[in-house]
Chains A and B, each alone.
Chain A
Amino acid sequence: MFTVLRDLLRYRTEFRFGAILTGFIAAFAALSLVSPYPPQDQFVVPPDLPPSWSYWFGTTSRGQDVFWQLTFAIRNTMLFGLSVAVLSRLVSIAIGMWSGYKGGIVDRLLMSVNDTFIVIPLFPLLVLFYFVLRDRMSWPLLALAMASLGWAYDARLIRAVALSLSSREFTQQCVFSGMRTREIVFQEHLPYVLPIVFYTTMNNMNWSIGLEVTLSVLGFTDIDTPTVGVMIYWANQHTALVAGVWWWVFFPVLFVMILFIGLFLLAISTNEYIDPRSRLARMGDVSG
């Protein structure tokens, strides 16, 4: 896995760019640790100042420094995306691999649940979720809800791979040598599936961050914890764009776009690495 990452960094421009952009955003989020102001405090700086040397990204109408506020927002948004991705990976790996390996009735039952999750519309469900919880809504809860809704596509993908692996000779040999199902799935099949998991993780992060921003902009989340979406929500509440406080909206959008592009580049370049057809197509390009 590490040699793969090293090779990708060395030879794939997209991967290098993606890593640089994502790394830049991660470093920016890390700055939240040294922020001079706690994120919830208001009127700690003069309001509505445009970007300047003393306030790089300007200040908000609520008297917050956009720079430091954004470090918290990006950190929370990234953590949110990451926890949704990790939690939903656990479900999709477990269900996909078990379903693909077992086949038969287990497969049919699990996949009918899986397909149900694929077809139910997520957005109205999450809005409903907010209206049920109201004040008790927090981002860990939202992450949990989205993770339990967002595993289904990738479980199907992983199941397809596991299904093909389960009929290969080496699996028969594993069964013959007396390995247990758990050992076969995690020791023998998981290394095969991991690159796909890596790819879908980044896609899933993009998906969950996008959905979280959408929900927050509309105010359907915990609006006291700063995230990129919540910053835009407050900017809208203070009619920032009408009032000419454009920097309040511009910087969050810019940063979340950089994060999106970074993750997207990482995802497509690993995909190219996994899929031999696109690798071959690229080699054809190089040789003319």
Chain B
Amino acid sequence: MSAPLAKVADAERVLDVANLRAYYQTWHFGVSRDVRAVDGVTLHVDRNEIYGLAGESSCGKSTLIRTIVRAIRPPLAVVEGSVRFDFGGRACDIYALDRARLAGIRWRHLSYILQGSMNVLNPVRRVRESFVDFAFRHIGKPMPQFLALVEDHLARLRLDPAVLGSFPHELSGGMRQRVTIALASVCRPDFIVADEPTTALDVVVQKDVLALLREVQRQIRSSMILVTHDIGVHANATDRLGVMYAGRLIEEGRTGEVIREPRHPYTAQLVTSLPRIGDIEPKQGLDGAPPSLAAPPPGCRFHPRCPLAMEMCRREHPPMVEVAAGHRVACWVKAPPGGMAAP
């Protein structure tokens, strides 16, 4: 199911990930072990689009985006596949770049809001110094102009430029998160990757942070990948949604469509777990736990927990099949290749 590389030239696409496999490879006492955290993921992100990634904890969401931005350290290694970016006509494979060119892309074109990003600011340096440390080299302007630009940027995001003079511990959690978003967007990158930007914030602050992310995206017209396990956030903020389970992408489509009409049994369960106003039915949980990524089950990785599992599911991994325009599902039952959808 690898997407043809020629499509990268398509001006609409900013990111094209083809059949990406990234494993944590360890070797201890003569025993080597691969943890297949990302296993054959193919996806693309269009210009000016917010792409959501959903899935439960330890399903490989964070590993996937770390691999996408090439912020990986051993034992994590890319085994197969490619990650290609296209920043306004300059296409590149991020794993083919040398150090200098990679540094040239980062922050200017591609920036990354880390998981737990409230701790991204160095606790012993003022916020202004963090801006200088991270972004100054990428802007290429003299210091006074750079600082003026930072203040402008903060003002545009309706943040008080006075935060520049404070230490991170003087700011509240939500404030720190907003400063981090401002920090990631100060160079007006074409592509922003946000890993769980709203986790650990209460709902009121969550709303503000999401509004800020959308505001950033509207102002600088960048594309974005937003990772969170919170389907409610996805419904609010993203254009398209990909659902991951045990290292694989299992369903992808327009967010509204995926949530309204989930095809994959796992997505269906995930969506039904959302409480609705007026709903008084008790929620049914899924039995079992996600499989170990070091020894995933053969065939479809969801089959041990799937209520619809068939013989086929235990033997072979289902391919991603397009069931409607732009809506792809990997399930033998719901989306068999050849189009004879089971009832």
Interface residues of A (CB under 8 A from B): 168-170, 172-179, 183, 187-188, 191-192
Structural contact, B138 and A169, CB atoms closer than 8 A: no
Whether A174 pairs with B119 at a CB distance below 8 angstroms is no
A176 CA to B112 CA, complexed, in Å: 8
Contact with A along B58-72 (1 / 0, CB 8 A): 000000000001010
Residues of A contacting B: mostly: helix
A188, B125: Cβ atoms closer than 8 Å: yes
12 A–B pairs (Cβ distance < 8 Å), ordered by A: A169-B117, A170-B119, A170-B121, A170-B123, A172-B71, A176-B71, A177-B135, A178-B102, A178-B103, A178-B106, A188-B122, A191-B122
Identity of the chain A residue whose Cβ is nearest the Cβ of B136 in the assembled complex: A177
Considering the chains assembled together, what is the distance between the CA atoms of A2 and B63 in angstroms?
43
Which of chain A's residues has its CB closest to B100's CB? A178
B137 lies within 8 A of A178 (CB): yes
A188 to B69, CA, bound (A): 22
CB–CB A173/B107 < 8 A:
no
Which chain B residues numbered 85 to 112 have a C-beta less than 8 Å away from chain A?
102-103, 106-107, 112
Interface centre among B112, B119, B124, B130 (most CB of A within 10 A): B124
A174 touching B103, Cβ below 8 Å? no
Q: How far is the CA of A177 from the CA of B134 in the complex (A)?
A: 6
Beyond the given pairs A169-B119, A170-B123, A188-B133, 6 more chain A to chain B contacts, judged by CB atoms under 8 angstroms and listed by A's residue number, are A174-B133, A174-B134, A176-B71, A176-B114, A177-B138, A179-B137
If A169-B116, A172-B114, A188-B133 touch, does A177 touch B107 (CB 8 Å cutoff)? Answer: yes
A81 to chain B, nearest CB (A): 28
- Please determine whether B120 and A173 come into contact, CB atoms closer than 8 angstroms: yes
Given the known inter-chain contacts A191-B125, A192-B124, please indicate yes or no for A176 contacting B69, CB distance below 8 A. yes
Residues from chain B with Cβ under 8 Å of A168 in the complex = 119
Instruction: Give the docked Cα–Cα distance between A217 and B102 (Å).
Output: 61
The interface residues of chain A lying within 8 Å CB-to-CB of B137 are 177-179
Q: CA–CA, A157 to B33, complex, Å?
A: 33
Q: Measured between C-beta atoms, what is the minimum distance from B258 to chain A in Å?
A: 30
Assembly CA distance A188 to B121 (angstroms) = 10
The answer for the CA separation of A188 and B134 in the assembled complex, in Å, is: 11
Closest Cβ neighbor of A178 among chain B residues: B103
Q: Which residues of B contact A191 (CB under 8 A)?
A: 122, 124-125
Q: Distance (Å) between the CB of B214 and the closest chain A CB? A: 23
Q: Whole-angstrom distance from the CB of A95 to the nearest CB of chain B? A: 21
Q: Using Cβ atoms and an 8 Å threshold, which residues of chain B touch A172?
A: 71, 114
How far apart are the CA atoms of A168 and B114 in the complex, in Å?
A: 11
Neighbouring A residues of B69 by C-beta, 8 Å? 176
Docked complex Cα distance between A177 and B121 (Å)? 13
Check B122 against A170 for contact (C-beta < 8 Å).
Answer: yes
Q: Is the CB of B117 within 8 A of A177?
A: no
Residue of A nearest to B137 (CB): A178
Which residue on chain A has the smallest CB distance to residue B184? A173
- Complex Cα gap A65–B244 (Å): 85
Whether A169 contacts B102 by the Cβ 8 Å rule is no
Whether the Cβ atoms of A177 and B119 lie closer than 8 Å is: no
Contact A169 B125 (CB under 8 A): no
Question: In the complex, A203→B44 CA distance in Å?
Answer: 58
CA distance A191 to B130 in the complex (A): 13
Which residues of A are found within 8 Å of B130, using beta-carbon distances? 170
Nearest B residue (CB) for A187: B133
Q: Which residues of B contact A192 (CB under 8 A)?
A: 122-124
Closest A residue by C-beta to B74: A104
- Nearest A residue (CB) for B107: A177
CB <8 Å contact, B120 and A179? no
Given contacts A169-B116, A172-B71, contact A177 B122 (CB under 8 A): no
Chain A min CB distance to B314 (Å): 39
Q: Which 6 A/B pairs are nearest by Cβ-Cβ distance?
A: A178-B103, A177-B134, A169-B119, A191-B124, A170-B122, A173-B120
Within 8 A of A (CB), among B212-232: none
Q: Within the complex, what minimum Cβ distance (angstroms) separates B198 from chain A?
A: 16
Q: How far is the CB of A184 from chain B (nearest CB, A)?
A: 9
Q: Which residues of A contact B135 (CB under 8 A)?
A: 177
A233 to B158, CA, bound (A): 72
Measured in the bound complex, the distance between the Cα atoms of B69 and A173 in whole Å is 12
Whether A173 lies near B114 (C-beta < 8 A) is: yes
